[in-house]
Amino acid sequence: GSGNHLKYTLFGDVVNTASRMESTSIPNRVQCTRETADLIREQAPNMIEVERRGETEVKGKGKLETFFVNPPKDGFGDDWGGDGGPGFLI
Residues classed as catalytic? 20, 59
Task: Give the alpha-carbon dihedral of 67, 68, 71, 72, to 10 degrees.
Answer: -10
Give the single-character DSSP code of 74: S
Query: How far, in whole angstroms, is CA 79 from its chain's centroid?
Result: 15
